[in-house]
A and B are shown apart, each in its own frame.
Chain A
Amino acid sequence: MDTYSIHNENNMETFRNGMKDGIPIALGYLAVSFSLGIAAKNVGLTPFQGFLVSILCNASAGEYAGFTSIGAMAAYLEIALATLVANVRYMLMSCAMSQRLDSKMPFFHRFIMAFHVTDELFGIAIARPGYLNPYYSYGAALIASPAWGIGTMLGVIAGNMLPVRLVSAFSVALYGMFLAVIIPPARKSRIVAGLIIISFVLSYLAATVPVVRELSEGTRTIILTVVIASVAAIIFPVPNFDNKEVAEDE
């Protein structure tokens, strides 16, 4: 009868499958969010605040951009812009997800599903055939999301206690994760590879050249992203955009 009812036994089974698939993601989240916690600590957030950011935002680059803005005591508009730009890829993922939802699915599910559009949870959801089942996403998020918040909190707490050597090592985990997102598509597309190199060079110059380097890191990221991506979009328009292409970004 009711395909999307919580009382439907199939949905409960799907929910349990989601929880199972959420376990390896949770383990990865614990380690990576730990380094995010160190970044949070460095800009003066408390363990509770670190936990709160992660449980509310479920983002990596976006949270990091936010922390950078907090560290620079940025204006509220600036932190909003920095968060927006660093999270634009989630907009892309949500766009892709919107194409995979059943129009018969009760609308309120969209509001809950939106909360957990992350690289990994989007990746495992979109990899399943057919319309997305919200209960699968809920199961995975239920396991993975608390790990993200707890890992961040532990990072803020233990960032103080760990030896400097370990903190130094953990602090690159986040960048390693960013590389894991951008490098595989660079292997498939020379345009993406070229853009990454150009981004590295311009980012280095922006951090070095007098006057420009006085701008906050968040502002520099926003300006560089909008300029480079706009120019790329004009010179190399993407031929066709579909779910498959976005799914491959994982």
Chain B
Amino acid sequence: MNNYIYILIMAVVTYAIRVLPLTLIKGQIKNRFLQSFLYYVPYVTLAVMTFPAIVNATQSTVSGIAALVIGIVVAWFGFDLFKTAVSCCLIVLILEMFLC
């Protein structure tokens, strides 16, 4: 397995996903199942990737759980992507001063 082949596959697939709808679709998508499936996919896939991975990403499970909770709370109150990410980092940094 070669890393450059992996990278090439990632680049081609990622570009294809973006360029095909932009170049092929001229009217509205009509199929209701497809519409709904495409609508739900981002939320499901990001949720699956976030948990339990976030809990295992840090040195201590407690700080991982805290990052998850803080991230949800901060995002819930409408703070943007950057601020949410920074809040998660800060809580881990602060907690691990005591935990690790």
Contact = CB atoms under 8 A, between A and B. Distances in A.
A62 B76 contact: no
A175 B54 contact: yes
A47 B33 CA distance: 42
Contact of B10 (A66, A95, A115, A234): A66
A157 interface: no
A91 B44 contact: no
Contacts of A177: 81, 84-85
* Secondary structure of the B contact surface, majority rule: helix
Interface in A7-28: 24, 27-28
Interface residues of A, number: 104
A220 B53 CA distance: 12
Counting chain B residues whose Cβ lies within 8 A of the other chain, the interface size class is: 35 or more
Contact of B84 (A87, A170, A176, A200): A176
A37 B17 CA distance: 23
Contact of B15 (A114, A185, A232): A114
Interface string B1-34: 1011111011101110111111101101100110
A90 B47 contact: no
A85 B41 CA distance: 8
The 10 closest A-B pairs by CB, nearest first: A89-B42, A176-B88, A183-B75, A199-B47, A233-B36, A176-B85, A94-B21, A28-B82, A180-B84, A114-B19
Interface of A: 24, 27-28, 31-32, 35, 44-45, 49, 52-53, 56-59, 61-66, 69-70, 73-74, 76, 79-80, 83-95, 97-99, 101, 103, 107, 110-111, 113-115, 117, 119-120, 164-166, 168-187, 192, 195-196, 199-200, 202-204, 207, 217, 220-221, 224-225, 228-230, 232-234, 236-238, 241, 245, 249
